[in-house]
Amino acid sequence: MRRQIRNIAGKEKMRVVGLMSGTSADGVDAAVVEIDRGKVRLLAFETFAYPASLQREILGLSRPESARLDDICHYNFVLGEVFADAVVKLCSKSGISLGSIDLIGSHGQTIYHQPCGKRYGGRPVRSTLQIGEPSVIAHRTGVTTVADFRPRDMAAGGQGAPLVPFADYILFKHKRLTRAIQNIGGIANVTFLPGGCTQDDIIAFDTGPGNMVIDGIIRIISGGRRHCDSGGKMAARGIVYKRLLDEMLRHPFFRRRPPKSTGREEFGADFTERIYRRAGKRGLADADIVATVTALTAKSIAQAYRRFLPVMPDELILCGGGAHNHTLIEMLHAELPEVKMLSTDDFGISVDAKEAVSFAILAWATIKGITNNVPAATGAKKPVILGKIVPA
């Protein structure tokens, strides 16, 4: 077993699959990358959508009032099968031999995350839970798998998030330009890379909801028939209701100083349903509600930059599903007119693939024995090597 891991770690050029399923729980993003002496090249990418019934089950597992222990146990292994199947299908579809894959890095599916912790024995104990059993992935694919990246950072006193700043540093650091890499997934998070930075100079944190509240409102409005505002078309027809927007921006998370992370626990179904009820009492049209929660994402990102970044970036590099929401991006442009906006597509990595690529990079670092958390971002007391290795 040790020899197998040493053999993988000793390779200068490595082919790694990264797997990611985010807070929207809409499917598995799978990316094959080649990493050669720290240089990363995307070879193939695909998103494998969950069936609607599986998405509903996962979202139910994320709510303490509806989650059952037997279902958590069951779907941990179900998602292991689903993730493994995604690897096999991606390799087949792209003409890449499964036998050529050296390593898999799987984020898993977060169903609960407590970055601030609950008290036990007189002190706070942070915790997190991702499902998508890596033993199943390794067994089904025959490829050594690295998973469960968050817990080690939490054991070192961190919040276990954000995890991608190490990958952002590898991919986007610049000798002169200061860059902000803004992911807009279910939750939005930023990595700030000053020009000529080292890992110690990185600032990273969750800015608040990305697509999560927008998607939740769309589900309510459509009676579950739709799950997102494709292209931001509905928001484009609406008018932002400033009073409701200001109410949402008073959420204490937005004032909390980094390091900080968030998730469904703060901006999930309970938050969304409460906002929808408030909007209903004010007689807002559906399009106006969608426009207002879209503005929440744009405004909270811009406010976070002004509150918590030392300077405005020269370039803002967008990624994640929210990069396809034209209305959201227009609102963000209006909030940050002085910043040049790009996307990871401009650097050869699809906005949809970026998170999966990041977990391939994290797995590569883990197998190489390279510390891959960023304590300045997570609050950990020291750099550590993230993840658990499951040999094939």
43-89 pLDDT tens trace = 999 999 999 999 999 999 998 888 999 999 999 999 999 999 999 99
**Mean pLDDT (the chain, rounded):** 96
Tell which residue, 89, 85, 101, 107, has the closest CA to residue 35.
Answer: 101
Percent of the chain with pLDDT over 70: 100
Q: Which phi and psi (to 5°) does residue 297 adopt?
A: -65, -50
Q: Is 386 helix (H, G, I), strand (E, B) or coil?
A: coil
Q: Residue 2 pLDDT more than 90?
A: no
Q: Indicate whether 32 pLDDT > 90.
A: yes
Answer yes or no: is pLDDT of 327 > 90. yes
CA separation for the pair 152, 384 (Å, rounded)? 7
Average pLDDT, integer, range 154-176: 95
Is pLDDT above 90 for 202?
yes
Q: For residue range 263-314, list pLDDT tens digits in order.
A: 888 999 999 999 999 999 999 999 999 999 999 999 999 999 999 999 999 9
Q: What's the CA gap between 160 and 326, in Å, rounded?
A: 31
Q: Above 90 in pLDDT, residue 195?
A: yes
Over residues 235-252, mean pLDDT: 98
- Pairing, β 103-120 against β 315-319: unpaired
Residue 26 has pLDDT above 90, yes or no: no
pLDDT at residue 111 above 90?
yes
Directed axis angle between helix 286-308 and helix 269-281, to 10°?
Answer: 120
Omega within 30 of 0 (cis) for the link into 124: no
- 18 pLDDT band, cuts 50/70/90, is very high
Q: Measure the N-to-C terminal CA separation of the chain; round to a whole number of Å.
A: 9
The answer, yes or no, to whether residue 1 has pLDDT greater than 80, is no
User: What is the pairing mode between strands 27-36 and 39-49?
Assistant: antiparallel
Confidence bin at 23 (pLDDT 50/70/90): confident
**The predicted structure's pLDDT at residue 373:** 96
Q: Which of 207, 229, 214 is nearest to 275 (CA)?
A: 214
Q: Of 304, 295, 293, nearest to 180 (Cα)?
A: 304
Mean pLDDT across 6-20: 95
